[in-house]
Structure formats: C-alpha cells, structure tokens
C-alpha cells in the first residue's frame, strides 16, 4: 500500500486540538456559560456549585512545572509518523509496530491516527 503524501495544512497533518474540543463540549453541555462566544468561568463555577474543590488542603498529585506540562500536552502537534521499512523485519506481514520518538508527541499523533481503533 503506497504512503499518501501529507501536505502542510491538511487536517490530518495536526493532532487534535484538545483545548478547542473540550471548550466545544463545555459549550454544548452548559450553553448558559457562553458569553460572546467565550466561556464565562464565573457562571461555570455557579453552575457546578458544590462539585468544585475549593479547600486548600486535599490530596493531589503535583510537581514543579505541572501547569506548563499540562499546557504542552494540550498543544496540537504537527509531527508525522513515518515508517522505516528498510529497518523493519517482515514489513508486509507483521502485525506489530515499533515507534520511536518523544512520548508526548507520539501519543498526540496516535490519538488522531487512523490506527487509533487498532491500538491495544
């Protein structure tokens, strides 16, 4: 099967924009929180009421740089996964795939990949 060339700007050339997708979900779930197309956080807090954690002391997993890591995780990726047929064994018949790269970038690309349903 020939590999399709992906050009910059193709929808498939970017991972999902998780922040935008989640904002769209919030707008669909709580239409009353939308003001001039943006999320009114104060209204969202009112809607969620007692479901918000406001106490200063509670258990959580945290570390220095966690906020930056969260922002990086939600940035869309423009990388491309390319097969290395010459380095592969039994390329035409294998059911396995070895992926080398930055964990976060690869996971974001796989999230949007047509193979997503086949990954286990």
Q: Which residues contact 105 (CB under 8 A, 6 or more apart)?
A: 77, 79
User: Is 37 domain-assigned?
Assistant: yes
CA separation for the pair 81, 101 (Å, rounded): 9
Integer Cα distance of 53 and 41 in angstroms: 15
Q: Has residue 9 been placed in a domain?
A: no
What's the mean per-residue pLDDT of the chain?
80
46: domain range?
14-52+62-80+96-112
Q: Which residues pair with 38 in a beta bridge?
A: 35
Instruction: Work out how many domains the chain is built from and give that number.
Output: 1
Backbone angles phi, psi at 37, to 5 degrees: 80, 0
Residues 57-111 have pLDDT tens digits of: 777 788 898 888 888 888 888 777 778 888 888 888 887 777 888 888 888 888 7
Residue 68 inside a domain? The answer is yes
**pLDDT band for position 114 (50/70/90)?**
low
């Amino acid at each position: 099967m020939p590999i399709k060339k992906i050009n910059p700007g193709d929808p498939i050339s970017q991972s999902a924009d998780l922040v935008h997708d989640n904002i769209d979900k919030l707008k669909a779930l709580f239409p009353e929180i939308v003001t001039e197309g943006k999320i009114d956080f104060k209204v969202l807090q009112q809607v969620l009421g007692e479901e918000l954690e406001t106490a200063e002391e509670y258990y959580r997993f945290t570390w220095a740089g966690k906020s930056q890591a969260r922002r990086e995780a939600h940035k869309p990726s423009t990388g491309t996964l390319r097969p290395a047929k010459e380095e592969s064994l039994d390329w035409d018949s294998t059911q396995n795939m070895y992926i080398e790269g930055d964990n976060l970038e690869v996971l974001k690309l796989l999230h949007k990949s047509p193979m997503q349903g086949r990954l286990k």
